[in-house]
Each structure stands twice: as C-alpha cells, then as structure tokens.
Amino acid sequence: MIDIIKRMRAGPVMFDGAMGTMLYERGAFVNACFEELCLSNPALVESIHSQYAQAGAEVLETNTFGANAFRLGAFGLADKVGPINRAAVALARRAGGNRIAVGGSVGPCTAQEQAIWGSSPPPEVESAFREQIAALADEGVDLLILETFAQLSELQLAGRIAKEFNLPVLASAAVQEDGRTVAGTRADEIISALQDDPNIDAVGLNCGLGPADMFELARRLIPLGDKPFIVMPNAGLPRCFAGRRLYMTNPEYFTEYAKRFVELGVRGIGGCCGTTPQHIHQACRAIGALSSVKRHVEISPPKSRPAEPITLVAPQDKSRLAGKMLTGQKVSMVEILPPRSGTLKPTIDKCLLCLQAGVDAINIPDGPRASARISPMITALSIEREVRIETILHYCCRDRNLIGMQSDLLGANAAGLRNILIITGDPPKLGNYPDATGVFDVDSIGLVKIVDNLNRGVDLAGSPIDPPTSLFIGVGANPTAVDPAVELDRLCQKVRAGAEFAITQPIFDTSCLLNFLDQIRSAGIEIPIIAGIWPLVSYRNAEFMNNEVPGVVVPAEILERMKQCPTSQQARQGGVEIAREICRQIAPHVAGFQVSAPLGNVEMAIAVLTD
C-alpha cells in the first residue's frame, strides 16, 4: 500500500479532479446513478481514471461518492453496495497501477439539501457507512476520503467507522460562500474538531467554493492544527446555460491558485465540480516545478577570504542608477519585454523614446510567464551599447544550474552590465513548451547570496574573484502578497543576503503599499523601494488583474472608472491618469517608479512618468 499521509508530510500531493463532470461530458444523463456506471459501463469510468493518471494525479478517487445504501436506494440499487464499491476500486487501481494511490470516496448518506439531523445520526446510517467502507477496504484502497460532508456529527461517525479498518482517513467538509455548511456549522468549528479527532489523519475542504474563496478560507483554517490540509475547489462558480451548469474557470486560473495553495502550506490539492484532466495536468506540472517544492542548495557566506587584499566597489559607485538611488534622488524605469522576433530594432526604438523622455533605466524581464524570447542579457547589452541608457537585467533561477548562473553573472559584469534584479522565476507550465523543466538549484534568496559573494571576491567554491564583480543587487517584493508575514520575512532574508534595492509588483491599492512600507521599516529594512506601476488599458484588463491574478488588488473605484470609459482610447487615457494619481499619492514614500509598457505601449509608460 502507498503511505499517502507520509507523502503529504514530505511535500504537496496532487489528487485528481471531478468524476461527475467528466461522466456528464461523456454522455451520462444528469439524473442517472453515476456510481452504477462502475458495473454497467466500466470502460467509461476507467478511461476517466486513466486520463487523470496521465495528467499526473498521485491519488485517484473511486467513483463511489454516493455508493451507500441510502443514496443507491433512491435508484433501487441498495443491494449493489458491495459490487459497486469493489468494482470502483478495481477500475481505479487498473488505471493507476502500483505508483498511484487509490482513495475510496465516501460521501454523506443524504444529499445536503435534505433534512438535517441533530447531534446523533440515525442508527441505520452507521450500518450504511460500515457496509460501504468495508467493501472499499476489502478491495484494497490506500486511504479513505470522507468528502463533501455538511454535518460534523455524521463526518465524525464516518471517521470512527473508517478507522476500524486501519486505513488513513481524510475528512473533508463542504462550505458555502459564508464559510458555513448547509447545516449552519462554521468551517473553523469543523476543522478544529477534526484536528482533535484521533480517527482523522488529514483534514480539508472540497466542493462548494471556487479557488479564490477556498484560498481565503484555507488561509484561516490551516493554523488550527498540524494535520495535512487538503483542498479540492470547484472550477469557480457555475453558470447556467440552456439548462446546463457550466464551470467557466480555465485551467490556467486554477493552476495559479494551486501554486498559491502550496505556498500557503496546503499538502494536498485536487479538483471538485467542473475540474477536468486539463486542470490537473497543468496544475501538476506547475506545482512540480515550483521552487518552493524543490530542495535548494544551501548557500552560505564564504568560509575564507582571498589571501591578497581585494578592492571592493562601494554600492553607490556600481552604476549611475545606484549612485542616484542611494543618494536619495528619485529614479524612473520602464519595463520592456524582450521581443519574440529575431530582431531588436523595435525594442531599441522604444528605448530611444525612453531616453529622450529622461527615463533612468530600462527593465528587461527574464522569460516572463516561462516564455521564450530573445535573451534578456543580449537585449540589455544591445540597449546599453546602442541607446546609452542603463538597464536592469532580470535574472531568474528557473533555467540554469549553479555553474551556469555564476558564469552568466561573471559574464554580465565583464560586459559592463551592473544593475541586476534577482527573481526566482515563473515555473514552466503547460503551453508552447510542455516538456520544459525548472532547475531551481536555489531561489532568489540563495541567488542574492551568490551575487553578494561574487561582489566580495569569492565564488561558491571559495576561489578568489579578482577583481570582484560590482553588481547592484535588486529583488522583487509584493505588498499584496497572499501571506504578508511570509512576504515580509522573505524580503528580510533577501536584505540579509545582500539585496540593495527592491521593486514591487504593480500597485493599484495604495493603502496596501503604505502598510507594507510601514512593516518593512519597522523590521529595520532601509533599502530603496521602487513602486511597480501598471497603466490599465481597458476595463477588461482591470477585471483580469483583479479577478484572475492572485495577490493583485484593484479597488472597486478604479474598476468603476475603467468601466465608464466608452472607447479604447478613453480607456487608455483613463488608465494613464489612474497610474499618475497612484504615483502622486505614493511619491513621498518610495525611491521611484517602474512603469510597465502594457502590450508594448511604451508611450503610455512615458506618459505616466512625464505627468
């Protein structure tokens, strides 16, 4: 048997997605008994399990959610509890083989909308649970998954019976948008009780909520105990079209939240209603490539110093940008993506416009959203050579190992590049390069230590670097991070590692930035903070940033202002004006601005800076 609880304690585990959604899409009638298909159409059920296995799921749930005497009785199938459950386990096992765990799905004995029991479920409920769980255990499931429960008493009864069979037990509740089950019990009451229940090995939430709402709830519930926490959100909230309930959330949105769940400390992630193998495949690849999931090489300060004295470059002398920033002068930057084409001429032309507008530096992202473009280092060198404007080279940990990173950094310094923004980098995910893998020998904190060592004249092997590098080290910061305490701690670690300035993600809610600045000053962080600014181009763009990008907050008043723009030209003008207002409000509190050129529109970025 597979010890899935041990796996979850070691790292995040990917469960599968919805079975009912897939059966319906494959032609099963909405009012049919989906569990009975394990007997009448086993090939269909097994094919869906196989799709989830191929997508990368590490746990397959049996098609037995309603396979108890109560629920089957409504279809005249109460005498089929044993055959259906045993067949379901065999189908999942055959699809997953020995490498994938099989979880026996056990749902409540009555539908959520039916009558709510008191503190003690009727005696026949205990018999129904025992009959179903015995069949699942006898057929050899690796764990029992008690899911979508609304009543704590019924869930704990099922947990007690499940534990009689010496199997790991995951207990999961379904809650609504108000944070309560349909029985009226608060989610925190359920999770607290399950954390103290000796029959329960892991706890969680499933169904009822989409990724965003479940994330906010999970953030409050995870600190209530130390048992592995599992989430299985729906693919957003359903919408009705021609009598069908359709889930409109795409796999990429689901995946973004899957990554946030991992960062939050969730140990198991799966999907409920509306999710498909595509959701699981993309989320599985992204989670597997996350820097936070991988073990990084420990980067320590050099144990020895060069025998001969080495002259180090003072921070303010590393570049014109460093000198201006560290002497308290405001700086301005424009972020321009390297092109996907084979020529840099359009990029050079945009940078010339920035130079003429008095912009101090051009930010060059490194493979944003795991995309392939012209090398950011080549782009930066060409810009500095042809435009005579400084660049800030973004450098991420995703694509290179420790040897390659040190070689690149030494080469960048030798070629005259001085400003570098160190980021962990977006993980590879489903898209144009599905077979790409992330290296992540270190994260951004570790890479900052590496660069700081090179600036001090020592490489990772302890070999002297003479002359040392003189790279001005920048890092990223997110004032609207999903976990502000973690973000603040990481920024402190980056500063201790050697960071000399920071650039934030796009700011729309100025209060979030100001609160963040207060926190970092209270923590003793004194490095210059550059505010990221994104001029919105449309109401749709504003909605996307607010609803589809985790951690980004666009206040309601800004959404409404963009909504009132009737034409695309007026929308762009409105976006520029909003960005200008944000800059005016936060100017006294930051060291400068980095303005993005949305959709390559550098004129909008310049318009923001030349208010």
Quick: pLDDT tens for 533-554.
Answer: 999 999 999 988 887 665 678 9
* Cα 504 to Cα 259: distance, rounded to the nearest angstrom: 20
Residue (of 442, 589, 441, 434) closest to 510 by Cα position: 589
pLDDT band at 25 (very low <50, low <70, confident <90, very high): confident
Count CA atoms closer than 13 A to 332's CA, side-chain side: 16
Residue 363 near residue 390, CB atoms below 8 Å: no
Three-state SS at 368: helix
- Strand-pairing partners, residue 269, are 14, 231
- 473-504 burial, b at 16+ Cβ within 10 Å, e below that, comes to bbbbbbbbbbbeeebbebbbbbbebbbbbbbb
pLDDT for the residue 32: 86
pLDDT for the residue 431: 45
pLDDT band at 113 (very low <50, low <70, confident <90, very high): very low
For residue 209, the 8-state DSSP code is S
Q: CA dist 557 to 48, 563, 568, Å?
A: 45, 10, 19
Q: Output phi, psi for 96, to 5 deg.
A: -95, -20
Residue 507 near residue 533, CB atoms below 8 Å: yes
Q: Output phi, psi for 343, to 5 deg.
A: -130, 150
Residue 38 near residue 78, CB atoms below 8 Å: no
Cis peptide before 198 (omega within 30 of 0): no
* Cα 335 to Cα 291: distance, rounded to the nearest angstrom: 24
pLDDT band at 220 (very low <50, low <70, confident <90, very high): very high
pLDDT beyond 90 at 46: yes
* Cα 348 to Cα 369: distance, rounded to the nearest angstrom: 23
Return the structure tokens found at 404.
């390659």
Q: CA dist 260 to 201, 224, 274, 383, Å?
A: 23, 19, 20, 35
pLDDT for the residue 242: 47
pLDDT beyond 70 at 243: no
Q: What structural domains and CATH numbers belong to the chain? A: 4-289 (3.20.20.330), 318-536+587-609 (3.20.20.220)
Q: Could you tell me the pTM of the whole model?
A: 0.69
Q: Which residues does 115 contact at the CB level (< 8 Å), separation at least 6?
A: none
Residue (of 445, 343, 347) closest to 391 by Cα position: 347
* Cα 190 to Cα 1: distance, rounded to the nearest angstrom: 29
Helices (H), 17-140: 20-25, 37-40, 42-55, 69-73, 81-96, 123-139
pLDDT beyond 60 at 385: yes
User: Which comes out higher in pLDDT, residue 96 or 116?
Assistant: 96
Q: Which amino acid, residue 146?
A: L
pLDDT beyond 50 at 339: yes
Across the chain, what does the average pLDDT equal? 90
